[in-house]
Chain A
Amino acid sequence: MKPAPFKYIRASSLDHALSVKAEYGDEARFLAGGQSLIPSMNFRLARPAVLIDINGLAELASVDLSGETRLGALTRYASLERNGAFLKACPLIAEALPHIAHPQIRNRGTIGGNLSHADPASELPAVALAMQARIRLKSSRGERELGASEFFVGILTTDIGPDEMLAEIVFPPPPPSTGTCFMEVARRRGDFALAGVVAIVSLDEEGCCTSIRVALCGVGDTPVDASAAAASLIRQRCTDQAIEAVAADVQRAIAPPGNVHASADYQRHVAGVLTRRTIAAAHQRAAHAA
């Protein structure tokens, strides 16, 4: 279990990294935290001819909380876990972070690496989808911005082109009186979840739901946006009964694949329970935020 030979290029600048990527295209991969890429290379599931090491590019690791939350792709989980201002500004990501792998992995792993790996069982893609994050891609040709819903296209597959780099993730601020919640069920803390749910609930002055976002991880080929299935809650009070009905709608809207740890039925069951609990918690938090 050793990686196949490759050519290692340490990028000296973002322009350098992008020009090397433009030259080699799909033959080259960016090496950031390496916590998904290197295991695939150790298994020889991935055999890139060229690795472009971007770890030295501090400009890709910026955290900007001045307006929208903008995270450079090279931002490591561990640096966010230790950033009090960030944890306060983004309580939803703060709640999801401790569930992402283990402390040793979080010391190396990056936000951009996570999203570009696009593992449907991973927490962060579902959070990005629920928060309607925008993903900024750069190449030597220029740059473009994609919504999270357009970015994730399949299992381990994104819309990133052969010459592009995921450079930045932008999380728009939630409306006022909004509460958020992330929960997952995993066999062991840090393992991939059997199912995980993100809920974002906004309330008006009367305490009625004005918008709801629900996204799930581990139950499809991509992170799954179930907000449409949850929309019956809008203009309603978040009673236990209403939340129960929404959870049942979400359960019907998903098609979990089942895996070695859980049957499809059990995943659907867990997704329903977590949907109910996350919406209830997000609602509580929204009411307190008002």
Chain B
Amino acid sequence: MQPDRHELALCVNGTPYQRTVEARMLLSDFLRHELRLAGTHVGCEHGVCGACTILIDGAPVRSCLMFAVQANGCELSTIEGLAAASGDLDPLQQAMHEHHGLQCGYCTPGILMTMTAFLKENPAPTEDEVREALSGNLCRCTGYQNIVDAVLAAAANLRAAAP
């Protein structure tokens, strides 16, 4: 069977890209192998672990459960777009750092992208709501408590900084 190739144009963290990809290329592999944006991690590749979570048009999705060709015309946000160009961490990243919300860090990009979208929708969450929102991301190091603490602290910091 001849590879079924398709033209693809999308925006990742504000930068436009055009590529030709095989239909079966997963979006997660496209980001890592074609665009060399390896901050998006690949864990289980069947939608369970959440490590590959990115934002598509603002909504968190599993990039291993989409084909790259489906993202044609979409705006994507990945972990590479969170920190400022100066290297300053964004408030959620800073809180994860301060609260020791990561150890090995493998799950962290997916968690940061999930929680970025969550805090935008719910700027003043309860601890239960944070845990519910976190339920689609597996972390095998932290036991989650420090991640929950970090998200609650980030939410408070973001609210305090809001005009």
Contacts and interface: CB of A to CB of B under 8 A. Distances in A.
Interface of A: 1-8, 31, 34-35, 38-39, 41-43, 51, 53, 55, 78, 98, 101-105, 107-108, 188-190
Contact of B26 (A3, A6, A188, A189): A3
B1 interface: yes
Interface of B: 1, 3-4, 6, 22-24, 26, 29, 45-47, 50, 53, 59-62, 64-67, 69-70, 114, 118, 132-133, 135-136
A105 to B, nearest CB: 6
Contacts, number: 87
Contacts of B114: 103-104
A5 B69 CA distance: 14
B132 A189 contact: yes
B50 A4 contact: no
A154 to B, nearest CB: 23
Contacts of A105: 47, 62, 65, 136
A51 B23 contact: yes
Given A103-B114, A105-B136, A2 B62 contact: no
Contacts of A39: 46-47, 65
Contacts of B136: 101-105, 190
Given A4-B24, A42-B26, A101-B136, A107 B61 contact: yes
A104 B50 contact: yes
Given A51-B23, A103-B114, A103-B133, A5 B1 contact: yes
Given A5-B4, A8-B4, A35-B47, A102 B23 contact: no
A178 B60 CA distance: 36
Given A7-B23, A34-B66, A190-B135, 11 more contacts: A1-B45, A1-B46, A5-B1, A34-B65, A38-B47, A42-B45, A103-B60, A103-B114, A103-B133, A104-B136, A189-B135
Contact of B67 (A1, A4, A8): A8
B45 A107 contact: no
Nearest to B4: A7
B23 A6 contact: yes
Contacts of B65: 34-35, 38-39, 105, 108
A193 to B, nearest CB: 14
Contacts of A6: 4, 23-24
A98 B114 CA distance: 16
B145 to A, nearest CB: 16
A104 B69 CA distance: 19
Nearest to B42: A1
A39 B45 CA distance: 7
A29 to B, nearest CB: 13
Contacts of A51: 23, 67
A104 B60 contact: yes
Contacts of B59: 78, 107
B60 A8 contact: no
Pairs of residues from A and B, 4 with the lowest C-beta to C-beta distance, nearest first: A102-B136, A8-B23, A39-B46, A3-B24
A109 B83 CA distance: 30
Contacts of A7: 4, 23
Contacts of B1: 5
